[in-house]
Structure formats: structure tokens, C-alpha cells
Amino acid sequence: MLSLTNAFAVAFRQYLVWRAYWLNFIFVFVADPLVFLYALGFGLGMAFETMGGVPYLHFIMPGMLASTVMYSVTVDTTYGTLARFNEMGLWHAMLATPVRLEEILLGEALWSATRSTVAAVLVLLVSWALGAVPSFGFALMTLPFLWIFGLVLAGIGQAISSQATHMQSFDFIWPLYLSAMLLFGGIFIDRALFPEWVQWLTFIFPVTHTIEIIRPLTLGDFMPADVLLHAAYLLLLWFGSYKLAICLFKRRFFK
């Protein structure tokens, strides 16, 4: 049986480590998206007043929330995860206790999604102060969805790192996974501007569905039916990637 207590213990361990470098974390995952928000929102926003029918600054604000979660979770569950189980031998140490592999994966994913949601809250607050959030009340409702998005990415990141042997193994995720989601998932550029086949392909990405949920919310629209549909896909993807990661790691460690 999966023990949630054990998973929380793993998550808490991750939190304790994070406390030692939280300033660096905030600097990267909060300052960087805000610089992008300013540079593109104000700079590019003047080249064309609106995108997708709204001012460009309002358009990319939710994109920045999603991208900060995307980068912080993916870096943690690829480079970070590989360092923990390979170089530090941390997972083997944990497995010598009553904690099981499923609980390690779940615990790390829980913390990874939570810390990235913390970063998203800070980005949201500063954007609100800059006047980039039309509807702050609804915008707060994006947070649970960003957290689920974080869990999905953690599952995918862990599944990728189960196949990795060294840090260079992750080279491919920058263009083929992260940049592809950043550019085609609707973060900066309205997906409607791309050819139809590209638009269909992007429906695989979790980020596309997250954006479809959170962009209307930060603009003050709430469409329950759409939200349910996209959230259902995210949950399905989370469950699938979590199970896949367990299966792949079991094959790597115990066979």
C-alpha cells in the first residue's frame, strides 16, 4: 500500500534542502519570467496592440505563470532527480528505510509542484502590482490548476530521468520539449497563428490545456465546462506519467 506519510516525509526532506537555496530559486524562477513579462509585454506589445483579442500584456501574463512552473518543475525532476539518485545515492539510502519507490516519486513530485506554485504566486502578485492582471480574484483560482500542471510535468520529468545516464542525456529536452511547449503551447504566441497541423499537435502538450484553463481565468472569464474537460486531461496525464515513471524506475533498479 502506498503510504502518504512516507511520501510527505520525502516531500518535507526536499523542502528542508530547498530552505538552504530559496533565495537563488526565487531569483531565477520569479525574476526571470518577470523580465520576460516586462520586455515582451511592453516592448513587443507595442508592435501589435492586441493578441487573441486582448492587450498583449494581459495575453502573456498567464503564459508567464505557466512557464515558471514548467521550467522549475522540469529542471528539478530531470537534472535534480538524476543527481539525487545517481550521484548522491540518495534514493538508495531512502529505499533502505520503509519508504518505497512509489512514495519517493510521489513525494518529490508533490514538493516540486508546490515550490513552483509558490513561484507562480509571487509572479502573479508582482504582475498584479504592474497592472497586468485584469481580474485578481479569478486569477487566484489558477493556482490549483498550476499545481496539477506541476504534478504532470514532474511525472514526465521523472519518466525521462529514468532513462538518463548523465547530465548530457537531458540536452534534447530543451529544444524538443521545453522550447516546443514554450513557443507552440500558447505562452507567447496565440496558437491560432500557426498552421492547423501544428495546432493539433500542440494538444498533446500539457501546457496547452493549462493555458486554456488559466488564460480565461486571469482575464476574468470562467467557463466551467471547458475547465473540467482540460483539467480531466491534465489529471489523466498526471496519473499516466506517474505510473509510467514508477514502471520505468522499477525496471531500472530492481531488474
Site mask for another protein (CB under 8 A), range 216-255, x = bound: ----------------------------------------
Q: What whole-number distance in Å separates Cα of residue 224 and Cα of residue 145?
A: 13
Question: By rule CB under 8 A, what count of residues binds another protein?
Answer: 33
Give the shortest CB-40-to-another protein separation in angstroms. 7
Q: Note whether 68 and 36 are within 8 A (CB).
A: no
Per-residue DSSP letter, 84: I
Q: In this structure, what C-alpha cell is assigned to residue 116?
A: 513552483
Angle between helices 206-219 and 56-75 (to 10 degrees): 140
Q: What whole-number distance in Å separates Cα of residue 188 and Cα of residue 63?
A: 7
Query: Which stretch in 42-50, 89-97, 143-151, 155-163 sits in contact with another protein by CB under 8 A?
Result: 42-50
Give the shortest CB-110-to-another protein separation in angstroms. 23
CA proximity to 71, closest of 59, 82, 63: 63
Q: What whole-number distance in Å separates Cα of residue 70 and Cα of residue 149?
A: 8
- Between residues 141 and 201, which has the closer beta carbon with respect to another protein? 201
Give the shortest CB-63-to-another protein separation in angstroms. 13
Q: What whole-number distance in Å separates Cα of residue 75 and Cα of residue 87?
A: 16
Site mask for another protein (CB under 8 A), range 45-74, x = bound: -xxx--x-----------------------
Task: Compute the Cα dihedral for 89, 94, 96, 101 and give only its sign.
Answer: negative
Give the shortest CB-30-to-another protein separation in angstroms. 10
- Between residues 135 and 169, which has the closer beta carbon with respect to another protein? 169
Q: What whole-number distance in Å separates Cα of residue 218 and Cα of residue 61?
A: 8
How does DSSP assign 10-58, residue by residue? HHHHHHHHHHHHHHHHHIIIIIHHHHHHHIIIIIGGGTSSEETTEEHHH
Does 32 contact another protein by CB under 8 A?
Answer: yes
Give the shortest CB-38-to-another protein separation in angstroms. 8
Give the shortest CB-116-to-another protein separation in angstroms. 15
Give the shortest CB-65-to-another protein separation in angstroms. 18
Footprint (CB under 8 A) of another protein, residues 147-206: 168-169, 171-172, 174-176, 179-180, 183-184, 188-190, 193-194
Query: Which stretch in 23-31, 145-153, 215-223, 226-234 sits in contact with another protein by CB under 8 A?
Result: 23-31
Report the relative pairing of strands 54-55 and 50-51 from DSSP bridges: antiparallel
- Contact residues for another protein, defined by CB under 8 A: 21, 24, 27-28, 31-32, 35-36, 39-40, 42-44, 46-48, 51, 168-169, 171-172, 174-176, 179-180, 183-184, 188-190, 193-194
